[in-house]
Structure 1
């Protein structure tokens, strides 16, 4: 899916009691735990902490200022892991805060960060059967970009 950053976006409104910060190594364990929880709920898997952290922090598109972490008094409740190519790699919201607008706030925050970097678009991938995520992305102004397959 794609979001045209030339179009206005609503203001970012974080749910009450939730703060945003960017990634640093001390946040790796709770971010990893949330990623594992999110992938269990949505499919796929996340490697062990050491492997995940090394892959994440050494990826050529890694920039810690593009990994947005939402937390409250109980811990990490949301993550938007973005790449420098204006791509949202992962967006995970803890089940205990789902339905409060955090996923939308993380998306809008990522859009604003990429707009400040003078990017024209933000992309992400979503499984075709993940209708809940698709509705969230569409509500934030994203639209489906169909892949063109090259015939044999």
Structure 2
């Protein structure tokens, strides 16, 4: 899916219950645990912590300032892992924080950040049967972009 960044991004009003920060290596175990939980509920899996962390931190598109982390009083409840290519690699919200608009806030924060970086759009991939995620993305102004497969 894609979000055109030429269009306005709504203002973000972070609730006091959430604190926003960016990725630091010491947060890797907690971020990894949330990713595992998110993938378990949404399909797929995450490699072991050491493999995941090495792949994440050594990826050519890695920038710790583009991995947005939301915390509440109990710990990390949301992660939007973005790449420098204006791509949202992962968006995960802990079940205890779902339904409170956190996923939308993280998306909007990512959109604003890429807008400030003068990007034209933001992309992400979502499974076709993940209607809950698609609804969230559509509510934030994203739309489906399909690529035509070219026979080899």
How far has the Cα of 1:12 moved from its partner?
1.5
Question: Where do 5+ consecutive residues of structure 2 fail to align?
Answer: none
Question: Where do 5+ consecutive residues of structure 1 fail to align?
Answer: none
CA distance in 1, matches of 2:69, 2:44: 21
2:117 corresponds to: 117
Q: TM-score, normalised by structure 2?
A: 0.98
Contact 1:15 1:101 in 2 (8 A): no
- 1:95-150 CA-to-partner distances (Å, cap 9, x unmatched) read 00100000000000000010111100000000000000000000000000011111
2:50 corresponds to: 50
Secondary structure of the 1:62 match is: coil
CA distance in 2, matches of 1:113, 1:73: 25
How far has the Cα of 1:151 moved from its partner?
3.5
CA distance in 1, matches of 2:24, 2:18: 18
Secondary structure of the 1:144 match is: coil
2:72 corresponds to: 72
Pair 1:26 & 2:37 matched: no
- 1:78-107 CA-to-partner distances (Å, cap 9, x unmatched) read 000000000000000000010000000000
Q: TM-score, normalised by structure 1?
A: 0.98
CA distance in 1, matches of 2:4, 2:138: 12
CA distance in 2, matches of 1:42, 1:4: 25
Secondary structure of the 1:20 match is: strand
Which structure 1 residue ranges, 4+ long, deviate > 2 Å from structure 2? 13-16
1:133 corresponds to: 133
Secondary structure of the 1:68 match is: strand
